[in-house]
Amino acid sequence: MVRSGTGRWETGRWAAGGAVMALGALAYGLPSLATFRRLRTRVTPGLAGVGRPDHVALTFDDGPDPASTPRFLEVLDALEIRSTFFVLGGMLERAPGLAREMTEAGHELAVHGWDHRPMLLRGPASTYDQLARTRDLIAETTGRAPAYVRPPHGVLSAGVLAAARRLDLTPVLWTAWGRDWTATATPANVLATLAPDLRGGATVLLHDSDCTSAPGAWHSALGALPELAARCDDAGLCLGPLAEHGLRPVSR
Ligand SMILES: [Zn+2]
């Protein structure tokens, strides 16, 4: 995915970094991030992915997965929607052709991590290595340098923020999720979970792989896409990738 601006940080975002790290640390010890997601959205809208009021960013985590991602590409193509995929380096390494296909279809690839272990369990060097290796592999595989990073579990450690800055990656979390990773997820309950937070400026988190989720959970996200697109359309909202989300260009 190509960042809409220069890809640099804004001063205000760094000023809010302490609050985000504290929230991340708190959230990590809890079974759900939902409470902190709402607080985080208020404290640091840029980090949460609040974009332009007529746009909703569609993002997927944990792929690319040959078992499921092609199905998402088919549906997105039919709906004429492009989106942002936060990929794991370990998955990308095994599916480079799929990653190129995603890029050629107009989707953005962004950095999730090399594997899915929470960054709080890593030291600064290991954190940097996770993000740098994934960034480099995306660039080598697709010919496009990624612009965004979303660490596993949304946990923004101090190491992630420092590494992101060095790598010129903008951290973006999410403002709406469908809890599509659970064993009981269905298209209907994914849509119902998304609904309260589905508004202009939202960044939607879904998953195009079950590699860290309940087996087959991705069917729920896939099945929710047509109705998600219809609801955005009905509300006059454009559904698309982060590159078109109007996140403010940043400088440092
Ligand atoms: Zn993930």
Q: What is the pLDDT along the chain (252 residues), one digit of tens a residue?
A: 333 333 333 333 333 333 344 344 344 333 344 445 555 665 577 788 899 999 999 999 999 999 999 999 999 999 999 999 999 999 999 999 999 999 999 999 999 999 999 888 888 999 999 999 999 999 999 999 999 999 999 988 899 999 999 999 999 999 999 999 999 999 999 999 999 999 999 999 999 999 999 999 999 999 999 999 999 999 999 999 999 999 865 433
Whether 250 is in a domain gets the answer no
| H helix or E strand, kind and range, residue 95 | none
Is residue 220 a contact partner of residue 68, using CB atoms and an 8 Å limit? no
Strand partners, 204: 58, 176
Determine the distance separating the centroid of ligand 1 and the alpha carbon of 61, expressed in angstroms: 5
Structure confidence at residue 137 (pLDDT): 98
Determine the distance separating the centroid of ligand 1 and the alpha carbon of 151, expressed in angstroms: 7
Whether 189 is in a domain gets the answer yes
Specify whether 62 is catalytic.
Answer: no
Residue 28 CA to residue 26 CA, distance in Å, equals 5
Structure confidence at residue 48 (pLDDT): 82
What CATH number is associated with residue 221? 3.20.20.370
Structure confidence at residue 46 (pLDDT): 77
Determine the distance separating the centroid of ligand 1 and the alpha carbon of 155, expressed in angstroms: 10
Whether 199 is in a domain gets the answer yes
Query: Closest by alpha carbon to 204, among 228, 177, 232?
Result: 177
The SS3 assignment for 73 reads helix
Is residue 64 a contact partner of residue 99, using CB atoms and an 8 Å limit? yes
Structure confidence at residue 38 (pLDDT): 59
Specify whether 136 is catalytic.
Answer: no
Note the helical H segments in the chain: 11-15, 17-28, 34-43, 45-48, 69-79, 89-92, 96-104, 124-142, 158-167, 187-194, 218-234
Residue 155, domain extent: 11-244
Whether 252 is in a domain gets the answer no
Determine the distance separating the centroid of ligand 1 and the alpha carbon of 179, expressed in angstroms: 12
Determine the distance separating the centroid of ligand 1 and the alpha carbon of 115, expressed in angstroms: 9
Determine the distance separating the centroid of ligand 1 and the alpha carbon of 116, expressed in angstroms: 6
Name the domain count of the chain.
1
Q: Which residue among the candidates 55, 112, 153, 207 is catalytic per the annotation? A: 207
Whether 251 is in a domain gets the answer no
Q: pTM for the complete prediction?
A: 0.84
DSSP 198-248: -STT-EEEEES--TTSSTTTHHHHHHHHHHHHHHHHHTT-EEE-GGGTTPP
Determine the distance separating the centroid of ligand 1 and the alpha carbon of 134, expressed in angstroms: 14
Structure confidence at residue 41 (pLDDT): 61
Residue 222 CA to residue 230 CA, distance in Å, equals 14
Those residues with Cβ within 8 angstroms of residue 76's Cβ, 6 or more apart along the chain or in another chain:
82, 83, 105, 107, 225
Whether 151 is in a domain gets the answer yes
Structure confidence at residue 39 (pLDDT): 58
CB half-sphere exposure, 60, CA atoms < 13 A: 33
| H helix or E strand, kind and range, residue 179 | none
Whether 2 is in a domain gets the answer no
Whether 152 is in a domain gets the answer yes
